[in-house]
Each structure stands twice: as structure tokens, then as C-alpha cells.
Amino acid sequence: MDDDRGLDDGLDDKVFKALADPTRRFLLDLLFTRDGRTQSELESELEMTRFGVAKHLKVLEEAGLVVPRRNGREKLHFLNAVPIRLIHDRWIDKYTERQVSALADLKAELEEQA
Amino acid sequence: MTAISGSTTTTTLVNQVFIKADPRKVWDAITDPKWNERYGYKCPSEFDLRPGGAFRTLASQAMRDHGGPEVIIDGEVVEADPPRRLVQTWRAYFSPEMAAEPATRLTYEIDEIAPGVSKLTVTHELEGAPNALFTVSGEHPDAGGGWAWILSDLKTFLETGESIER
């Protein structure tokens, strides 16, 4: 392996690690619902200290899943869908897309009936 | 950089990708129709790279075969600072609803974070353009994967010379 793989493998590790936590997935879901929020806005949705939320946001930022943008004195957090897309294109597509989409269809169908 | 005001935050998309290519290559892949027709939706985009210069994206052959318009996106270059920063307006003509929406604002920023490694950030401000937002966010089921998919394919194209091509 040359170091061409280093960048992406390192980022993939960070994405998987970032996603392996329910609070961080919840933060992503919050941003998916409404993008571009301040840390205070996100805190109000969680039973957690400011420090705890900041720590989770930092892990998400390092994985590239959240991109901070300055707006005057505010720091807004935006969901970045590209890292998940890259994992989708490289891993899910490659090995299992057909099965996954069949299962997703089945799940959707069952949930519709419920 | 334009301030992203609080009321427009839900209509701004920020997408970012790290690419193993120097900023000049990334810039050319975005602005040169010779390259930009080879990934994503595979449509050539032409830029007159100076403030006020014209921008337009032409339909691919497949789109024209479906009877779509010849120019599918147009706009104006606001700022061109090669190979670091490109600001433009952007209005798509994929549907009558989108064509009726106001022009949106698109900013490309390219930072070299290590030798030969670029960080590309694409900010699309889509205030007042819900149909465009639905399409470029990748939520529209019939419109491909939007920005996330385009940038994923751009990365693949620059790093391997090939499109993901399904």
C-alpha cells in the first residue's frame, strides 16, 4: 500500500468511528432536519453538557461529516453528505447494494403495513 | 465571503471533499468543459472566468434525446480567483418550476491542505428556490444524487481518471 490510500483510509476510519455513537448520529439527524445550526441550538435538543456536545461535534468535524461555517460571531454547523456518499460508492455499491436495497424495500413495505 | 444569515441557513448546502490532486487540477476539473463533462451528470459546463462572465451547462446527448432544453443551467461568474475560489450564480432549467425560481449562488473554495491534497468546499445558497434545493440536495428520487454524488464522482475522476459510471 502506498500513501495514496492513507488519506482515504484515515478518513473512512474517522467516519465509521464518528457514526458508531448514538448521540453523534442524533446530531446528524438534527442537522438533516434543519441544517446550519449553532452549537447552542443543538444543545437545546440534548440532555448533555455544553462540553459534551462540543466534544461530539469535534469528532463529527474531524470526520468531515459536519462542516463549520462562520457567520459573523456565530459558528454554524452544516451536514456534509459527501463522506457517507463516498462510503456508499466504495463499499455498499461494490459489495452489497442489491441486497441492501432489497432489504430497504422490505423494511419500507413492512413499515407501511404497520 | 457572504454572510449566511440566520433565516437562510436551512436553504444553504455545504459539501466538502478531500481530493488527492493539487488545486489547479481541481480547478480545471470544475471549470474546463473538457474535464467537467466527464464526471457527475456528464454535461459540459462553460465558464467565462471573469466577473460578469457567462456560465452555462449544456445538456448531455442522453438528455437531449429525452427532449430536454439545450442549456440546462446558466448563470454569471461573480468572482474568479484561480485556483482557489469561484463564485457564480446558478439557475437550472430542469423543470418549469425550477426555471421560475430566482438564481441561486454557488461558491467553490479550494484549499491545499497538504502537498498535492486539496480540500474542496462547495456552498450552494438556495434561498427562495425549493425545487432547486430538492434536486441538488440529492433528495429528488429521479435527479441523481445531487452535490454529494457529483463530488464523490469528481474525487474518483481526479484520483483514478475514471468516473464511477454505473
pLDDT (tens digit per residue) in A21-75:
999 999 999 999 999 999 999 999 999 999 999 999 999 999 999 999 998 999 9
In angstroms, the separation between the Cα of residue B10 and the nearest Cα of chain A is 5
Task: Give pLDDT tens digits for A61-112.
Answer: 999 999 999 989 999 999 999 999 888 887 776 676 566 667 777 777 788 7
Residue B28 has pLDDT above 90, yes or no: yes
Q: How many Å apart are CA B87 and CA B81, to the nearest integer? A: 9
Domains identified in chain B and CATH numbers: 11-160 (3.30.530.20)
Closest partner CB to B16 (pick from A4, A36, A82): A82
Answer yes or no: do A106 and A68 share one domain. Answer: no
Q: Give the bridge partners for A69, in sequence order.
A: A76
In this structure, what C-alpha cell is assigned to residue B156? 474518483
How many contacts does A have with B, using Cβ atoms within 8 A? Answer: 73
Q: What is the ipTM of this complex?
A: 0.77
Total domains present in chain A: 2
Q: pTM for this structure?
A: 0.84
Q: How many Å apart are CA B138 and CA B131, to the nearest integer? A: 11
Answer yes or no: do A32 and A66 share one domain. Answer: yes
Answer yes or no: do A72 and A87 share one domain. Answer: no
CB contact under 8 A, B12 and A4: no
Answer yes or no: do A55 and A98 share one domain. Answer: no
Q: How many Å apart are CA B138 and CA A82, to the nearest integer? A: 11
Please give the C-alpha separations between residue B83 and each of A56, A104, B17, B55, B87, in angstroms, as whole numbers: 33, 42, 16, 17, 12
Residue B94 near residue B144 (C-beta atoms within 8 A): no
Percent of chain B with pLDDT over 70: 92
Tell me which DSSP letter residue A37 carries: B
Could you tell me how many residues make up chain B?
166
Answer yes or no: do A26 and A69 share one domain. Answer: yes
Answer yes or no: do A61 and A87 share one domain. Answer: no
Domain that includes residue A32, residue range = 1-80
Closest partner CB to B14 (pick from A34, A37, A78): A78
Closest partner CB to B148 (pick from A7, A85, A93): A85
Quick check: A75 contacting B, CB < 8 Å? no
- Tell me, what's the pLDDT at A109? 79
SS3 for A10? helix
CATH classification of the domain holding A62? 1.10.10.10
CB contact under 8 A, A64 and B15: no
